[in-house]
Structure 1
Amino acid sequence: MRLRLTLLALCAVLAGSARAADDTTPRIAVISAFAPELVALEKAATHKHTVTLAGTVFTTGVLEGKPVVLFLSGMSMVNAAMTTQRAIDRFHVSRIVFSGIAGGVDPGLDVGDVVTPDQWGQYLESVMAREDAPGHYAPPAGEPLTGAPFGMMYPKAVEVLRAPTAAERRAWFPADPALIAVARRVAGGVALKRCTAAGLCLKTAPHVVVGGNGVSGQAFVDNAALRAWAYSTFHAEVLDMESAAVAQVALVNGTPFIAFRSLSDLAGGDPGANQAGTFFQLASDNSAAVVRAFVAALPR
């Protein structure tokens, strides 16, 4: 009996894999980090079918007239890279679109704004330097550094393997210029939410910003000093925990990529306590609204 149940479970897994592998429809991969970010997009999709692969639920369907595969990356860099690569391996992914929330870094931005950077950096990729005197950290020798240190932390370039004979060092991972151009065309026409379902409203109407820099790393940031460093060192508009990892996977696979991130908080620059718990759903909905307009504007 136990053997039979094991074989049935194995057959179910293989069947799911086969269905995904047999899906040759070119699809836009629409990714979010955690469930509340994906709610609005899944509700808007039609002709939905789900396949579970290694614990991740992939939903194929149609969004704004375009074939898509919707899924959660999971939070943080490793999860995001792993699930994105799995989607590329199992589906015919033509483009990658990330939709989610982020912390605002640029002092000119506020909660609810949606930012679509031209490029993403992995700002926590770094050398933790030796303290050779109290409060003084020796710069690491022989490392391709990418900016000024934050205490003992010296940011460095990321090693990328795209050829079997040599590793490439990169500070930035680009969004696709053609996709950025589409984002610019639709940015001004999207109505963004200003108030939460509970009736708490932002002081100013949010807006869409296309261009500039975003950074990602394995930490939720609620620290004013680190926020100021990320802005001055990387000229970053936003920081999150996934986008740069997805951008790296997209680059290696030659797949066009873009990320839309709406600010749920200011990463330590909030006027009081961190606001993510209050505004994460508003921010998620604003990002989803821009993504839907963007997908609708994409050529078939």
Structure 2
Amino acid sequence: MIGIIGAMEMEVAGLIAALEEPEPAVCCGQPFTSGRLGGVPVVVAKCGAGKVNAAMCAAAMVLRYAPSLVVSTGVAGGIGPDVKIGDLVVATHAVQYDYDTTAIGEPLAAVDVGGTVMAELPTSERHNAILAQYAAEIYSGVHRGVIATGDRFVADPNFCAALREEFGAVACEMETGAIAHVCAANRTAFCGLRAISDNANDDGKVDFLTFARDSAEKCIALLKASAAALENA
């Protein structure tokens, strides 16, 4: 089974609508819908924005459904030099950029994952390769790189530059790093897939409102196309 998590209705509604034999359920206060996507067993959830909501949803999903793969999907701000609105990003790893214990000598963004301290939260390379392959067949503008997660809607070019310099990030958003954290702790394969809705700059709010829905639909179409290959990886 594949688990798919998006923060907003527009990021998951198309997937839920496409499910065969949908079965709604609630676990730990979080609504889920399971079913089949092109014959592939999946469970889809809208978690709400931010790291806490994302982590709560991911933990409940792993507890209730034990998926073999979890995908964080939706939109993000593009901060890489060649990353444009409408492009897709497949995460090589994720970081929680606003987790800071450097005052006690630990690296920036280094979180405790089941007793192991790590800043780079892993993704599944074999599943990443499938997403990137299918994305390239459907769309132009496909990137693989670091997704930076924090509880902030970034609309500041100076902050974007800091994320690029510190982490090599190509996109920023509010959920992927938290879901990656939960998956790493539970040894569940994970992918982060994001479509760029804005460039996280002074025009970020306007661009987001203009392009978010179309960008989210790109991720939905890609997951529909690649579900069988992801399940069999």
Shorter-chain TM-score category? over 0.9
Q: TM-score, normalised by structure 1?
A: 0.73
Shift of 1:269: 5.9
Q: Using the alignment, how far apart are the partners of 2:192 and 2:124 within structure 1?
A: 10
Identity %: 30
Partners of 2:219 and 2:205 lie apart in 1 by 23
Normalising by structure 2, what TM-score? 0.93
> 1:177 aligns to what?
125
| SS in structure 1 at match of 2:126 | helix
Residue 109 in structure 1 maps to residue 61 in structure 2: no
Answer yes or no: is 1:289 the counterpart of 2:221: yes
Give the total of aligned pairs: 232
Alignment of 1:26-175 (within 5 A): 27-127=1-101, 140=103, 142-145=104-107, 155-160=108-113, 162=114, 167-175=115-123
* Uncovered stretches (5+) of structure 1, i.e. residues with no partner: 1-26, 128-138, 146-154, 192-205
Report the RMSD for the aligned CA atoms in angstroms.
1.7
Matched, 1:227 2:160: yes
Q: Which amino acid aligns with 1:111?
A: I
Equivalent position of 1:208 in the other structure: 142
CA deviation digits over 1:44-88, x for unaligned, max 9? 221111112343221110012210011112210011111110111
Distance 1:54 1:75 in 2: 17
Q: Distance in 2 between matches of 1:235 and 1:215?
A: 9
How many Å separate the matches in 2 of 1:261 and 1:156? 21
> Greater CA deviation, 79-88 or 40-49?
40-49
Partner of 1:188: 136
Find the aligned partners of 1:82 and 1:156 in 2 and give their Cα distance.
20
Shift of residue 94 of structure 1?
1.4
Does structure 1 retain, via aligned residues, the 8 Å contact 2:49–2:175?
yes
Q: Counterparts of 2:70 and 2:121 in 1: how far apart (Å)?
A: 14
Secondary structure of the residue that 2:2 maps to in structure 1? strand
Contact persistence 1:80–1:242 (CA under 8 A): yes
Structure of larger gyration radius: 1
Structure 2: tracts of 5 or more residues without a match: none
